[in-house]
Amino acid sequence: MTVLSWAEFWYNTSYQGAIRCTPFEVVYGRAPPSLHRFIPGESLVEAVNQELQTRDEALKQLRFHLERAQDLMVHQANKKRRVANVNVGDWGYLKIGPHRQTSMPTRLHPKLSARYFGPFRVIQQVGETACKLQLPETARIHPVFHVSQVKKAVGEHQVEKDLPPDLQADGPSFWPVNVLGRRQRTEDGGSVPQLLVEWQQGGPEGATWEDEITIREQYPDFNLGDKVDDQGEGIDRDKNKKGWVVYERRNRRK
């Protein structure tokens, strides 16, 4: 704790590459004061000489350990980084996740879905860490990607002309067509109303539970007034018939 104030002073007066100045200049608008090095015999008071000598030694140790910690963090951060290995004219596979909203029906086995798509031609280098790909005209995504998302195609490969349906403008549009049920889910001590939504592409078998507020916000034109009543039951089916049975995991008794 005796050198904590010196560590704080060293940090606030050190040049930061992110802000291109010292934190002291950001706060006060002027250059930080400089500390003069200890010169033996400069002061006639022995106690002052001893204090200045101790200060210089503490600052030296602090600077060493802080720079060492910085080097270790840089080393750990660069372990999984790689330089751009794709050039203009190369072909590369695009690593991209499914661009779906959280309310869309998910795949039955998402772990088995494709991880890379393409290959696509690199038509432009954007800076040192990004590149522009020649995507199909029907693509709905921006063509500039970080180099970590592009894997260079090596050897013979078959050119992929299309993206997944989810990423194309003419792909199938997911739209709610019916509400099959309703329930209340407990979350953070409160109650969240949910709807069992039937989607246009999934049918009744692909119905999923979605938050009612999410459906109202993302699909404002979808009229819920004639789909769900105030008592929390669907009115598009016979209430006496329990066509949908929902099983919920109960907490294990202690």
DSSP letter assigned to residue 147: G
Q: What is the residue whose two structure tokens read 């930080």?
A: 32
Residue 54: C-alpha distances to residues 6, 63, 171, 221 (Å): 12, 14, 71, 73
105 Cβ contact list (under 8 Å, min separation 6)? 174, 199, 201, 202, 206, 208
For residue 185, what pLDDT is reported? 86
Q: Which amino acid is at 221?
A: D
Cα–Cα nearest to 158, from 216, 217, 211, 116: 116
Instruction: Tell me whether residue 179 is exposed, middle or buried, using C-beta atoms within 10 angstroms of its C-beta: 0 to 12, 13 to 18, 19 or more.
Output: buried
For residue 102, what pLDDT is reported? 36
Inter-residue contact 182 to 232 (CB < 8 Å) = yes
User: What does the alpha-carbon distance between residue 163 and residue 94 come to, in Å, rounded to a whole number?
Assistant: 10
DSSP letter assigned to residue 165: G
For residue 190, what pLDDT is reported? 83
185 Cβ contact list (under 8 Å, min separation 6)? 191, 192, 193, 194, 209
Strands 190-199 and 130-133, by their bridges, are: unpaired
Which sequence spans correspond to the domains of the chain?
Answer: 4-77, 91-167, 173-254
- Tens of pLDDT, residues 165-176: 555 544 445 678
DSSP letter assigned to residue 219: -
The answer, yes or no, to whether the previous bond of 119 is cis (omega within 30 of 0) is: yes
For residue 233, what pLDDT is reported? 44
**Domain 173-254 is in which class?**
mainly beta
Cα–Cα nearest to 138, from 172, 174, 118, 162: 162
For residue 69, what pLDDT is reported? 92
Residues of the chain with pLDDT below 50 are 99-108, 169-172, 229-248
User: What does the alpha-carbon distance between residue 144 and residue 205 come to, in Å, rounded to a whole number?
Assistant: 37
